A and B are shown apart, each in its own frame.
Chain A
Amino acid sequence: MLTSTYRIIKFAFQNFWRNIWLSVITISMLVLTLLTINILLVLNRVTDQAISFVENRIEVSVYFNENADPAKVTDALTYLRTLPQVKDVQEIYADDALVAFKQRHAGDQAILSSLDELGKNPFGPTLIIKAHSAKDFDAIIAALDNPRFRDAIRQKDFSDYQSIVSKIRQTTDEIRTGGIVLSAIFFLIALLIIFNTVRVAIFIHREEIGIMRLVGASSNFIRMPFLVETIILSLLSILIVIAIVYPTLAFIEPKFNQYFGSGTTGLVSYFEQHGLLIFGAQFLALLVVTMGSTALAMRKHLKV
C-alpha cells in the first residue's frame, strides 16, 4: 500500500515533468484565474474604503435662521447627538460662519462688498452632522423635521449628497455583481482548462495507460496519478499567486493611501491577517474545481 502510494506520487511528478510545458500553461491559466479573483477581492476592499472615505466626508448642513434662539440650536444639537445614526455634530456659530465665508470668497470683491452693504451678519448658526453610514442620512433628515426646532431651521443642505450616496451604492452593487459573475466565469474557465489538460495528458499517455492495463495495473493505480498531478498543479498555482499578491500589494498600497489622503487602505495588513483564510479558501475551491474536472475528464476519456 505504501509502495503503491509512493509510486503513484512518483508517477504524478513524472507526468508533471515530462509534460512540463503543458504543466506551465495550466499553471499560468490557474494563476491568472486566481489573480483575477484576488484583484476583485482587493477592488472590493478598496471600494469599501472609498465608500467610507466618501461617507466620512458627507455631511448634512443645517442652517438656522439668523435670529434663531440659541437654546433651540442647543436643543437640536443635543437631540441629534442622542440619535444612534449620528456620528458627530459640530456647531458653527454665526460669527465663525461669516469669517469662514469671507475667507472662502477672499478674492471675490463683488461678494465681499455686497456683504459689507448688508451691514450685518446674514448667517445664522449652522450644525454640521456626520453620520456613520450614508444610509443613515434619510433618518437624520426625517428627525430634523421635529416640530421642536423645525421652525428655526432655514435650510437643510443634503439633496446633492443623497444622489451621490445612491450613486455610490448603485455603482458598488454593480461592481459586486460584476465581480461575482466574473469569478464564476473564471472558475468555469479553470474547470475547462483542467478538463482539457487532463484530456491531453490522457491522450499523451494513452500508450502508457494501455500498457499499464495490459500488465494488470488496477484502475485506481492508473487514475490516482492524474488526481495527484492535479493537486500538484493547484498547489503550485496558489503558491505562485501568494508570491505575486503580497509584494504587489506592498507596492500599490502607498499609492492608494496617497489617493485617499490620510486614511490608509490597510491592504497588506488585511491580507496578512486573513491570508490563511483567503488563500486557504481559494486553494480549497480550486481543488474542488480541478479535481472535479479531472474526474470528469477521466470518466469521459479514460476507459479503465
Chain B
Amino acid sequence: MIHFKNVSKFYPPDVIGLDTVNLRVEPGEFISIVGQSGTGKSTLAKLLFAEERPSKGTVEIGGWDITKISPNDVPLLRRQIGVVFQDFKLLQKKTVYENVAFALQVAGIPSVRVREVVPRVLSIVGLDDKSHRFPQQLSGGEQQRVAIARALVHQPKILVADEPTGNLDTLNSRDILELLKKINEFGTTVVLVTHDHEIVNRLKRRVITLDGGKIVSDVEEGRYKL
C-alpha cells in the first residue's frame, strides 16, 4: 500500500528531514511512527499526501508513483488519503455537518450523495446527534472526531493521523484511538504519528521509530521505548 524506496528529504538550506528511509506498509496495516521532536515524523506523513516531495528516492501509494506527482493530480491523491492533525483544522464558522460536507462539496460530489455520506460518517464517529453544533461547542475529542469523519468521506484507502491526540487528555485520547482501530478494522490502512507512550503501548501494533530522519527500529507489536 505504501512503499518508500531510499527516500530522503532535505529542507533548504541544509536541514535533513528524512534520511534514506525504506519502508513498506501492507494494506490494512496499522502502523505507529514515533520518535523525538524534529526527527522527521511529520515529514514522512507529508510525503504520503504530497504536501512535500522527496528530494531523493521514490514514494509509491497503492502502486501509484507519487514522487513527482503533478499539482493537478494532488487533489486526486488527497481524495484517496484521509488526513487528521493535532489541531483538527476545522472551520469555526461551519457546523459539524457543514465541515464534513465541505470535503465532499469541494470535490464536486452531487448534493444528493453528500446528504447520504455525511450522516453515515458522522454516525461512525458517534456524532450524529451533534451535527448542528459549531466546533467551539464541542470538546477537543469531539472536534477530533469531526476531523476524522471528514477524513473518511471519500472512503480513503489510507488514513494519516499526525499526532491526533496531541491536544487531548487521556480519556479523549483513548476514544480517538479506539475510533482509529475501528476504522482500521473496516480495512483502511492507518498511519499514526504520535508522541504518546500510552497509546503505542495499548495498540500492540507495528511501531517504527525515527531518529535524525532515519528509521532506527521497526518492530511488530512494538512498545514505545525512548
Q: Which residues of A contact B (CB under 8 A)?
A: 1, 3-4, 7, 18, 207-208, 210-219, 221-222, 304
Q: A207-B91, A210-B89 are in contact. Are A215 and B106 (CB under 8 A)?
A: yes
Residue contact B105 to A7, C-beta cutoff 8 Å: yes
Residue contact B71 to A217, C-beta cutoff 8 Å: no
Residue contact A3 to B93, C-beta cutoff 8 Å: no
Nearest CB in chain B: distance from A243 CB, A: 32
Q: A7-B105, A18-B93, A208-B91 are in contact. Are A215 and B110 (CB under 8 A)?
A: no
**Chain A positions within 8 Å of B102 at CB level:** 211-212, 215
Known A-B contacts: A213-B75, A222-B106. Give 11 more (CB < 8 A): A3-B108, A3-B111, A4-B108, A210-B89, A211-B102, A213-B74, A214-B89, A215-B106, A216-B77, A217-B106, A219-B72
Nearest CB in chain A: distance from B1 CB, A: 18
Residue contact B83 to A214, C-beta cutoff 8 Å: yes
Alpha-carbon separation in the docked complex, A147 to B77 (Å): 94
Alpha-carbon separation in the docked complex, A215 to B153 (Å): 9
B78, B90, B106, most chain A CB atoms within 10 A: B106
**Chain A positions within 8 Å of B83 at CB level:** 214
Cross-chain pair count, CB within 8 angstroms: 60
Alpha-carbon separation in the docked complex, A12 to B153 (Å): 24
Is B3 among interface residues, defined by CB-CB distance under 8 A?
no
Chain B, residue nearest A211 (CB)? B89
Q: Please name 30 pairs of A and B residues whose Cβ atoms are closer than 8 Å in the assembled complex, sorted by A.
A: A1-B108, A3-B110, A3-B111, A4-B108, A7-B105, A207-B89, A207-B91, A208-B91, A210-B89, A211-B89, A211-B90, A211-B102, A212-B106, A213-B74, A213-B75, A213-B78, A214-B89, A215-B78, A215-B102, A215-B103, A215-B106, A215-B153, A216-B77, A216-B78, A216-B79, A216-B103, A216-B154, A217-B107, A218-B75, A304-B71
Partner of B91, one of A3, A211, A213, A304: A211
**Chain B positions within 8 Å of A1 at CB level:** 108
Is B226 among interface residues, defined by CB-CB distance under 8 A?
no
